[in-house]
C-alpha cells in the first residue's frame, strides 16, 4: 500500500501541526505527564485518520469488455431507473456508491474506451446522499465510449466534507478499465449511468471494492 500524491501537502502540514502542539504542551506543562501523554495520543490518532484517508491499496482488475467495475470503494446507496439530463437526455439505470471518510477515495475507470465528454461543475456541498446532490453539488461528469459503441457516464460528486474533486482525464483520452481517473477528498459519492438493458450485479447496501467488484454486465 502507498499514499496518494493528493495528500502530500496536507500530510506534511498536519505533521508539523502535531509536532508543534506536542512541543508547546511539553514546554508549558513539563510536570504534567498525564496531559502530555493524552495530547500525544489525541494528535497521533488525528494524524493516523488523515494518513489512512490517502492510502492507495494494491488492486487487480480483471479486464472484461462486458463488465462494468466499481469506480470506487464504498456502499451502494442507489439502484434505480432515472432520467439523465446532462448528456444522454434519456432513461438510464443509475447505480450510486457513497464513500465515507474511512473509505479509499481513489476513483477508477469502470470501462476501457475513449473519453467522449468531460465537464466540471462548481456547486454546493449538500450531504452526498441528498437526492439533489447529483445535480446541485460540485461535480464532474465523464463519459467513456467503449469500442463496441456503448457509452457509460460516471459522475464524481462532492459531499458535505469534500472540498476538492481531482480528475486526471480529458476529452479524447484513451482510458483503461481499472486505472485511476480521479480522487475526491473526504466524504463523497459516484453515480454511474448504464444502459437500460444492463444486468445489475450489486444490491443496495453492498460494499463494492473499487477497480475489482463487478457492478453490472452489458448485454
The catalytic residues are 188
User: Rounded CA gap, 85 and 67, in Å?
Assistant: 24
| Dihedral sign, Cα of residue 174, residue 176, residue 180, residue 183 | positive
The C-alpha cell at 6 is 493528493
Phi, psi dihedral angles at 4 (to 5 degrees): -75, 145
- Residue 49: count of CB within 10 angstroms of its CB: 12
**Strand intervals (E) in the chain:** 2-3, 55-56, 67-69, 75-84, 90-99, 106-108, 113-121, 139-145, 151-158, 165-167, 174-175, 180-184, 188-194, 199-200, 214-217
By DSSP bridging, strand 90-99 and strand 188-194 are antiparallel
Cα separation, 153 vs 110, in Å, equals 9
Backbone angles phi, psi at 83, to 5 degrees: -95, 125
The H-assigned helical ranges of 54-95 are none
Amino acid at each position: 500500500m502507498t499514499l496518494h500524491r493528493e495528500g502530500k501537502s496536507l500530510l506534511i502540514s498536519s505533521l508539523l501541526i502535531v509536532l508543534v502542539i506536542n512541543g508547546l504542551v511539553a514546554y508549558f506543562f513539563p510536570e504534567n505527564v498525564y496531559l502530555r501523554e493524552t495530547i500525544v495520543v489525541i494528535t497521533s490518532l488525528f494524524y493516523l485518520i488523515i494518513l489512512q484517508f490517502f492510502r492507495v491499496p494494491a488492486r487487480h482488475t480483471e479486464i472484461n469488455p462486458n463488465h462494468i467495475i466499481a469506480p470506487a470503494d464504498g456502499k451502494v446507496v442507489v439502484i434505480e431507473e432515472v432520467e439523465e439530463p446532462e448528456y444522454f437526455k434519456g432513461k438510464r439505470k443509475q447505480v450510486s456508491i457513497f464513500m465515507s471518510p474511512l473509505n479509499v477515495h481513489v476513483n477508477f475507470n469502470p470501462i476501457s474506451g475513449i473519453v467522449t465528454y468531460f465537464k466540471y461543475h462548481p456547486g454546493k456541498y449538500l450531504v452526498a446522499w441528498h437526492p439533489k446532490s447529483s445535480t446541485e453539488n460540485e461535480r464532474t461528469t465523464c463519459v467513456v465510449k467503449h469500442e463496441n459503441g456503448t457509452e457509460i457516464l460516471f459522475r464524481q460528486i462532492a459531499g458535505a466534507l469534500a472540498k476538492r474533486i481531482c480528475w486526471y482525464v480529458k476529452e479524447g483520452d484513451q482510458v483503461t478499465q481499472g486505472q485511476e481517473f480521479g480522487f475526491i477528498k473526504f466524504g463523497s459519492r459516484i453515480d454511474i449511468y448504464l444502459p437500460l438493458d444492463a444486468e445489475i450485479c450489486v444490491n443496495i447496501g453492498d460494499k463494492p471494492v473499487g477497480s475489482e467488484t463487478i457492478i453490472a454486465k452489458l448485454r
